[in-house]
Structure 1
Amino acid sequence: MNEYLDIVLRSLAVYAFMLTAIRLTGKKELSQLNTTDVVLILLISNAVQNAMVGTNTSLLGGLLAAAVLFSLNYMLKKVMFRNKMIRDLLTEKPEILIHNGNLDFAMLSKLGITNEELREAIREHGIEKYKDVKLAIMEADGNISIISGDDKLKHTQYKRKRHHKTLGDLN
């Protein structure tokens, strides 16, 4: 097989694998990377580099692999924009955490959101108690949006830092 066609096919396979792996592991919080996430990304990039370019360590081989990845990403975004089924398959959905002061404990547990994270999110919006939250939503990008129903309070997004191991007491 042509050496450069091999790089294209390998890059395509790695891209598809990484996209699937991220989707299956539910990485909603990619916008808030912590130290372990950065280390993981660096190690993964190093691990898959040879899988993409094989023995070709030339400048052209590296640039070709990068061009394939950029092209695939561009095409996938275009397809997702035009095709709702593909978009729904590949993107996370926003999840309601609090509705009219009532916490959805099952959803909080499923998403691994701790009491401390939720309290921090609502405090950042000037809200003291869960019962004063009209709507709290875990957005597709991992942010927690809070709507208080009070027009005087600002409505911004809480940048979620990271999952914790335990749910804690959500009172």
Structure 2
Amino acid sequence: MIIKLFLGFIVLLIIMRLMGKRNLAQLNAGDVIYLLVFGGILEGSIYDEKIKYWHVILALVSWSLIIFLFEYLIYKSKKARFILKGDTDVLMTEGDIYTKILKYNRLELDQIHSIARNQGIFDLSEIKNMYIESDGGFTIEKYDNKYPLKEHDYEIYELVKNKSINENILKEINQDEDWLYNQLNKRGVHDINNVFYADWSFDRGIHIIKYK
């Protein structure tokens, strides 16, 4: 069993070298599959005395060659790279959100808020573009701002979420739907069904994220 574990360790190092200098956060779905299959091969062989050492070597070397072939195809072919590794998705452009991309990646507005806060952004109006990378990470491009906003610089009131108006928030800021529609009209939005999200701050006014 110890020898099989040692062989597995050596081959795992080879696989990690094939993947290049990436950390765990950069592993994509294909990389995870590589490691899961590798683990399955090793686990099945360790506890089965009928499986000889050379069987383990043959299986691990074969899988390593398959990985090398896939990585070579990914390196040489853009089409193969797209199929096997995926591509970067554009989630937001110029402050507007692509709801199809949002739904495809099973994301919700609350998660977007959380992702932004993790990158030190507490107001969605600061976000110009947002991308979902192939490894599942998020890249955010902010609007130019000489004075970045902090968490407690001002309160933000959520007025609209997924086309639904928050009546309680309107009452909290002493406003009504007529006022909200007037604010939307000033920004060129004449249909509430076009509004994915809207919030209000007494410091910078209304911020609108439209469906794209």
Query: What is the TM-score when the length of structure 1 is the normalising length?
Result: 0.56
More helix by share: 1
Matched, 1:145 2:145: no
| 1:82-102 alpha-carbon deviations (Å, 9 max, x no partner) | 122322322211111111211
Q: 1:60 to 1:88 in 2, by over 3 A?
A: same
More strand by share: 2
Q: Which amino acid is 2:71 matched to?
A: K
Report what 2:73 is aligned to: 79
Report what 2:123 is aligned to: 129
Q: 1:137 to 1:153 in 2, by over 3 A?
A: farther
8 Å Cα contact 1:138-1:144 kept in structure 2: yes
Q: Structure 1 vs Structure 2: percent identity of aligned residues?
A: 15
Measured on the aligned residues, the alpha-carbon RMSD in Å equals: 3.8
Q: Which amino acid is 1:76 matched to?
A: F
3-state SS of 2:122 partner: coil
| CA distance in structure 1 between the aligned counterparts of 2:147 and 2:114, rounded to whole angstroms | 15
Report what 1:92 is aligned to: 86
Unaligned runs of 5+ residues in structure 1 are 1-28, 155-167
| CA distance in structure 2 between the aligned counterparts of 1:113 and 1:89, rounded to whole angstroms | 22
Matched, 1:107 2:101: yes
Q: CA deviation at 1:116?
A: 2.4
| CA distance in structure 2 between the aligned counterparts of 1:61 and 1:30, rounded to whole angstroms | 32
Q: Which amino acid is 1:61 matched to?
A: H
| CA distance in structure 2 between the aligned counterparts of 1:108 and 1:151, rounded to whole angstroms | 26
| CA distance in structure 1 between the aligned counterparts of 2:101 and 2:55, rounded to whole angstroms | 45
Q: CA deviation at 1:152?
A: 6.9
| CA distance in structure 2 between the aligned counterparts of 1:153 and 1:79, rounded to whole angstroms | 46
Unaligned runs of 5+ residues in structure 2 are 1-24, 149-160, 163-195, 198-212
- Which protein shows a greater Rg? 2
Query: What is the TM-score when the length of structure 2 is the normalising length?
Result: 0.46
Does 1 or 2 have the higher relative contact order (CA < 8 Å, sep 6+)?
A: 1
8 Å Cα contact 1:121-1:146 kept in structure 2: no
| CA distance in structure 1 between the aligned counterparts of 2:27 and 2:87, rounded to whole angstroms | 15
| CA distance in structure 1 between the aligned counterparts of 2:77 and 2:132, rounded to whole angstroms | 24
8 Å Cα contact 1:100-1:132 kept in structure 2: no
Q: CA deviation at 1:56?
A: 5.4
3-state SS of 1:140 partner: coil
Q: CA deviation at 1:112?
A: 0.2
| CA distance in structure 1 between the aligned counterparts of 2:76 and 2:134, rounded to whole angstroms | 19
